[in-house]
Amino acid sequence: MAGGVPGFRPPASCMAQQSPRSTRDDSISAWIGDTVRHLGVLGAMRYYLTASVEFLRDLTPQRRRSRYGDIDYDFEHGVDTTWATVSLRTRFRELVSSARYQPSQPELFHEILRALPVPLDGFTFIDLGSGKGRTLLMASNYPFRRIIGVELLDELSDIARHNIAQYRSEQQKCFNVESFAGNARNFEFPNEPIVLYLFNPFPDYVLRIVLENLRVSFMTTPREIYVIYHNLAHEDMFRSQTWLRELHRTHQFAIYRAS
């Protein structure tokens, strides 16, 4: 999940400094304003009504227990990446910002990376909307040059950094792993080969901006870029990107190459 700290420019080098962060409540009004501008008043009201009903359902004990279904990964690695331990305050901010944290399922994530048609050494793995950082940890088991996560919500970003510090695995191959709090729309893509991972992290209007930023970066500095789109909710957005060529597709994810 990603989306709302103004002026965010993550590092283009490994000597990056942590991006600016904001916990001010006025960011909530900015998110609501975004939703109204892109959905209209009635559309925003419908969205927030539906999201509020889902929010209340998630408070039930049965639904909350179901969110612990993938906690085995956390026990195995001594980390906290499950959805069920997200605070009510952050859950509410998820609702308002039109995004929602959901960790990637390990087996499927590894299937996705195995489907990439190139050796991964030399690539930078980027997850926009990285939540508590589970994908960053799983990606570190591959020989990426470095790994970068960007997350909107402070609580999730803080937990991700703690998880990175705590993570231990005999399979780990990349140790240059960073997580930043920031706005995906302001992310400055580094001028190096990229594998971009998107687990349907934000609304379509944010996705459009992110893809345009990536296109401009690619046209300015041509290089190998692969985009993984997991959970194909806004698949039409990718079909309209003539500079992205689909290489692989299942009912759960698609892989594109910039060309």
Are 125 and 243 part of one and the same domain? Answer: yes
- Please give the structure tokens belonging to residue 157: 């970003």
Alpha carbon distance, N-terminus to C-terminus of the chain:
27
6: pLDDT strictly greater than 50: no
**How large is the average pLDDT for residues 129-142?**
96
Write out the DSSP string of 72-125.
Answer: HHHHHHT----GGG--HHHHHHHHHTT----PPPHHHHHHHHHT-SS--TTPEE
Which pLDDT tens digit goes with each residue over 154-203? 889 999 999 999 998 999 999 999 999 988 989 999 999 999 999 988 88
User: Which CATH number characterizes residue 162's domain?
Assistant: 3.40.50.150
Residue 60 has pLDDT above 50, yes or no: yes
- Residue 217 vs residues 14, 38, 123, 129, 189: alpha-carbon distances, Å: 18, 25, 16, 19, 7
**Structural domain span for residue 146:** 106-258
Q: Are 204 and 103 in contact (CB under 8 A)?
A: no
For residue 20, pLDDT beyond 60: no
Which of residues 48, 67, 96 is at a domain's end? Answer: 96
Residue 247's alpha-carbon distances to 26, 250, 257, in angstroms, are 42, 11, 7
- Helical ranges in 126-257 per DSSP H: 134-139, 154-166, 204-220, 235-239
Domain membership flag for residue 135: yes
Whether residue 171 sits in one domain with residue 54: no
pLDDT surpassing 50 at residue 25: no
Residue type at 210 in one-letter notation: V
Q: How far apart are CA 170 and CA 111, in angstroms?
A: 19
Indicate whether 43 belongs to any domain. Answer: yes
Tell me which residue has tokens 């990718």: 238
Please say which residue of 51, 73, 96 terminates a domain.
Answer: 96
In a domain, 87, yes or no: yes
Our separate counts of H helices and E strands in the chain read: 9, 7
The count of structural domains within the chain is 2
Whether residues 154 and 196 share a domain: the answer is yes
Structure tokens at 110: 């590894």
Evaluate whether residue 161 is within a structural domain. yes
248 domain-assigned:
yes
CB 30 within 8 A of CB 200: no
Q: What are 126's two structure tokens?
A: 């980027």
CA separation for the pair 10, 1 (Å, rounded): 16
Mean pLDDT is lowest, of 10-24, 54-68, 198-212, for 10-24
Distance of CA 229 to the CA centre of its chain: 10
Q: What is the mean pLDDT of residues 7-11?
A: 57
Over residues 92-128, the pLDDT tens digits come to: 666 666 667 788 999 999 999 999 999 999 999 999 9
pLDDT digit string, tens, across residues 202-259: 888 889 999 999 999 999 999 999 999 999 988 999 999 999 999 999 999 999 999 9
Quick check: is 2 in a domain? Answer: no
Judge if 231 and 125 occupy the same domain: yes
